[in-house]
Amino acid sequence: MKAIKVIKPFEVEIVEVEKPKIEKSTDVIVKITSGGICGSDMQIYNGTNSLATYPRIIGHEFGGIVVEVGEKVTSVKIGDKVAVDPVVSCGECYACKIGRHNVCSTLEVMGVHRDGGFSEFVKADEKNIHKFHTDFDESLLGLVEPYTIGMQINNRLQTTSKDKILIMGAGPIGIAALQVAKSRDAKVIITDIVKERLNKAKDMGADETVLVTEEDLKERLGKFTDGEGIPVIIDTVCTPSSFEESVQLACPAGRIVVIGLKNQPSNITMADITKKELTIVGSRLNCNCFDQVIEQFEKGKLNPEKLMTKAYNYKDIIEALTMIKEHPQDVLKVVLKFED
Ligand SMILES: [Zn+2]
Ligand SMILES: [Zn+2]
């Protein structure tokens, strides 16, 4: 079978590899129909992903149709449309035992730490396979994972309809978090430095948008909250200064979620947190969010087709990567279709 392999930074090839076989009784083999290209795939390609090793079959956003199942598999059957959760955990460590396997001490992500989903067939354990109950568009099956990131963020914040939320950054993660927050009837104000992205965010339900290069965010937040200050912040900009800004902007008793993986420090004091008794939480990957997202897709409460900027055949991976590299501001999600 064919697969997309990053041999080393800036060298990507369509290679011939062995098709996976059922080995364990809980194995499932999926014929991939769709994959989403993520910022972290771009980083693996560019050599800037500190977690990845080479050579690597990339892709952690993927889905398709079940073609083979091990003898003990009961939750899916041949022909089911599914999305595959790329998070692989041990089941034994503290985090796993308390039900937070997405931060397992020996966590591996398919497509990053081990081979991923940009290939014609993928094998995964039954527990990583999540099925659709309707005849969902095959080209969108790979977009469940990016929405699980948005779902996890909102789950960590326990977003409700009472919340007013500031989302910093209207890239794919900001947009996914926005759609999930809106599906819970929260009010959302979203920022970016690119006007087109904000137009897109507005189209996807943002109550207000702020072009931070031209407008005063603090003033707009004052109006948005009747002078109260913003109680919930999702920082998808993920720079040391955006974290500092979040802590400054949050109102007393506010909640902040951070998702960045950079290890440069931010200048935040204990008093900044204590005085306002802020709740600052991290959000990583997803913890059992696949079924929640699939349900919302099928109910039409989350609209992945709006996130998709363009689709390419997987054999045109170089063209797809080049497009993302050259037009980062126009791209939300580029999808690869795995067809001949
Ligand atoms: Zn991703
Ligand atoms: Zn574990």
Give 45 Cα–ligand 1 centroid separation in angstroms: 14
For the segment 260-274, the average pLDDT, to the nearest whole number, is: 95
Helix, strand or coil, per DSSP, at residue 180: helix
Ligand located closest to 96 CA: 2
Give 308 Cα–ligand 1 centroid separation in angstroms: 13
Cα–Cα dist 145/115, whole Å: 16
Strand order in the sheet with 250-258: 208-211, 187-192, 164-168, 230-235, 250-258, 279-282
Q: Does pTM surpass 0.85? A: yes
- In the numeric block, the tokens 């991939």 are attached to 32
Q: How wide is the angle at C-alpha 196 spanned by C-alphas 334 and 41, nearest 5°?
A: 25
- Taking domain 148-282, whether its CATH number is 3.30.1300.10 is answered by no
Which residues, including other chains, have CB under 8 Å from residue 45's CB and lie 6 or more apart? Answer: 6, 9, 10, 12, 58, 321
Cα–Cα dist 169/190, whole Å: 7
How many other CB atoms sit within 10 Å of the CB of residue 91?
Answer: 9
Q: What is the pLDDT of residue 330?
A: 87
- Per the CB < 8 A criterion, the answer to whether 181 and 167 are in contact is yes
- In the numeric block, the tokens 């009747």 are attached to 226
Q: What percent of the chain has pLDDT over 70?
A: 100
pLDDT in tens, 137-188: 999 999 999 999 999 999 999 999 999 999 999 999 999 999 999 999 999 9
- Amino acid letter at 314? Y
- Per the CB < 8 A criterion, the answer to whether 198 and 192 are in contact is yes
Q: Give the domain ranges of the chain.
A: 2-131+303-337, 148-282
Q: What is the pLDDT of residue 169?
A: 98
Ligand located closest to 86 CA: 1
Q: What is the pLDDT of residue 328?
A: 86
Q: How wide is the angle at C-alpha 32 spanned by C-alphas 28 and 33, nearest 5°?
A: 140
Ligand located closest to 148 CA: 1
Q: How far from chain centre, in Å, is Cα 327? A: 20
Give 20 Cα–ligand 1 centroid separation in angstroms: 23
Q: What is the pLDDT of residue 329?
A: 85
SS (H, E, C) 116-167: CCCECEEEEEHHHEEECCCCCCHHHHHHHHHHHHHHHHHHHHCCCCCCEEEE
Give 99 Cα–ligand 1 centroid separation in angstroms: 22
β-pairing verdict for 208-211 and 81-84: unpaired
Give 98 Cα–ligand 2 centroid separation in angstroms: 10
Q: How far from chain centre, in Å, is Cα 236? A: 11
Relative orientation angle of helices 172-183 and 144-157, to the nearest 10 degrees: 60
Ligand located closest to 117 CA: 1
Ligand located closest to 102 CA: 2
Cα–Cα dist 20/151, whole Å: 31
pLDDT classification of 295: cutoffs 50, 70, 90: very high
Give 286 Cα–ligand 2 centroid separation in angstroms: 14
CATH architecture of the domain with residue range 2-131+303-337: Alpha-Beta Complex (3.90)
Residue 307 has pLDDT above 90, yes or no: yes
- Per the CB < 8 A criterion, the answer to whether 63 and 34 are in contact is yes
